[in-house]
A and B are shown apart, each in its own frame.
Chain A
């Protein structure tokens, strides 16, 4: 039996954690004040999660770590054998395996301090753990921290804000074009704290960058709830890509909170590849798009086991000529459920928006629902949506099989092909892994 945790208990626990974080991070007072403000909001803020009840949330706050996950992982040999076997099957390098195991990040923050990035730092590229950015660039962080969210929107926003830890601060100086994708992991494995990384992206005028976050292989998480928050600011003509790769263990609930302000003529391509079989994933990113700005939200999803996924995405086209695309492709297997409910709201003339949702159902027990929302407050906006939910066509399967591919290989090929057009911006090294993961998932080997 688990004992009952009251709101009061939870608040006391959070307060302790705030004190601990403030001390550990040698945090300026204004940041600690934000945490306390969030703590205060936590009690009254609404809780409307369709999967995690308020009681469960309080339980989680009292005890964020999952039982059974090895406490001290000092080498790859300490990983659970089935995970080690999977990493080997995926052919993932030992260096990357360490990140996945949470080894490299905690002990070796060097990943973001390497020589290569030092050179770029001179040109005006700042990449830092968010805690460190708070200390080193207080004005810059303060100006952008929690400007796109309100602490009291929900219990989850309040809780995240109170105990946020980890995350990345990315700043691209005006005119700077970063020609290579920045690949970052940021796992914090301190069991006593919730996993709540805070990501801030600031792209000044006329900049270009591509940030890749996470990794394709399954990650050994010690927490069953992952609450990350991303705030992105794109100034005039900034062009940026954020690619999020995730593969959650089956006991993990994720609640990504992403919001972005897209300035005049700026472009933001936000792609999320979800490969795992988590417990649930509910996200409702929001984007405010100024004159001639463009936002693209791409969701690629492999739903396995009893994964429950609810993807929203709201785009407010606020400037003349602003446009947005919300596109998803989902392969839905086993008993998983996928719901998509993107909304595009046209608030200025000559704006364009499109929602598309494609799903391939591989199991009779899987469920797919889609609810596109188009709202126009002006006369000459062009808004459209399309959705296609279907199974693998018998003719296609027979065609491939008649070429000597057995049913499993033919199905793998069709599934990979279905997702392929949306993976065009993913660098090759990840693509190779993504394809392998899809193959394994189709054969039921994940």
Chain B
């Protein structure tokens, strides 16, 4: 029998995630070329940057995608080097990645999948999990009968992203990495996703959000936000929430010029 056990350890004001001089290769091509990033528990970080600058690579590497090979530097989570950990071990440490394009999993019903996720990550038994899932699903506009569909199969962009958020809401990870939760999403879905991100943030989940637009942040207090701008596999500028407005208005060109890139 599975025992309930606390999975997450809190570390006060210490660093939760520390990415040190991270170099990553995909299929023998270097994508990240020395990324440094520090996130404390409960913080809200936004990563912006042009296509191909390495944002998704950073997200997938932290989550442990086997195709993304760390060739230099390290990733520390709560002080532990997680470079060698498998994706499930990282999830158990409290890292959750909401995918940019979550894949279809044929034949696997959402409800059964989520029940198993809650068993694995929170030690909640499947019967108890069922009610919790149905309740939370409703908040993300999934009816009970929707939960008997197969995971992401035939889903619209908005449905896929809402299902990613549902998982985040159920798991309440220590660190939630959101890879463009606003891309390919209808306006109404965007609003519910944005509110759920805010809710999780308020409950203490640290957020690392990758986006192209500030719109998703309409519910988040600007003062709380740390913004990083990526270019060619590096973070070239870090600032507060005001950076997002600046990029929304002027694009990246001026920032890159300022930092001499």
Contacts and interface: CB of A to CB of B under 8 A. Distances in A.
B91 A417 contact: no
A399 B102 contact: yes
Interface centre among B66, B90, B105, B171 (most CB of A within 10 A): B105
A418 interface: yes
B124 interface: no
B11 interface: no
B215 interface: no
A73 B87 CA distance: 48
A404 B117 contact: yes
Nearest to A420: B107
Interface in A176-219: none
Contacts of A407: 86, 88
A393 B152 CA distance: 15
A429 B86 CA distance: 35
Contacts of A399: 99, 102-103, 105
A419 B106 CA distance: 9
User: Contact size class for A?
Assistant: 20 to 34
Interface centre among B63, B92, B106, B150 (most CB of A within 10 A): B106
Contacts of A420: 106-108
Contacts of B120: 403-405, 409
B52 to A, nearest CB: 19
Interface in B55-89: 63-67, 86-88
Contacts of B91: 401-404
B210 interface: no
A120 interface: no
Contacts of B90: 402
Interface residues of B, number: 29
B121 interface: yes
B121 A404 contact: yes
Contacts of A226: none
Interface in B136-168: 150, 167
A405 B88 CA distance: 6
Judged by DSSP, the binding face of B is mixed
Contacts of B108: 413-414, 416-417, 420
A398 interface: yes
Contacts of B167: 403
A410 B104 CA distance: 14
B117 A396 contact: no
Contacts of A396: 103-105
Nearest to B101: A395
Judged by DSSP, the binding face of A is helix
A417 B87 contact: no
A391 to B, nearest CB: 14
A416 B151 CA distance: 13
A94 interface: no
Contacts of B116: 405, 409, 413
B209 interface: no
A394 interface: yes
Nearest to B92: A404
Contacts of A413: 105, 108, 113, 116
Contacts of B46: none
Contacts of A393: 103
A417 B105 contact: yes
A418 B88 contact: no
Nearest to A329: B107
B190 interface: no
B97 interface: yes
B80 to A, nearest CB: 17
Contacts of A404: 88, 91-92, 117, 120-121
Nearest to B153: A417
B22 interface: no
A441 interface: no
Contacts of A374: none
Interface in B18-67: 63-67
Contacts of B64: 401-402
B105 A406 contact: no
Nearest to A393: B103
A395 B151 CA distance: 13
Given A419-B107, A420-B106, 6 more contacts: A394-B66, A402-B63, A403-B167, A409-B120, A417-B106, A417-B107
17 contacts: A395-B103, A396-B103, A400-B113, A401-B64, A401-B86, A401-B87, A402-B64, A402-B90, A403-B117, A404-B121, A405-B88, A409-B120, A413-B113, A413-B116, A416-B108, A417-B106, A417-B107
Interface of B: 63-67, 86-88, 90-92, 96-97, 99, 102-108, 113, 116-117, 120-121, 150, 167, 171
Interface of A: 393-396, 398-407, 409-410, 413-414, 416-421
Nearest first, the 8 closest Cβ-Cβ pairs linking A and B are A417-B107, A420-B107, A404-B120, A417-B108, A404-B91, A401-B87, A404-B121, A402-B87
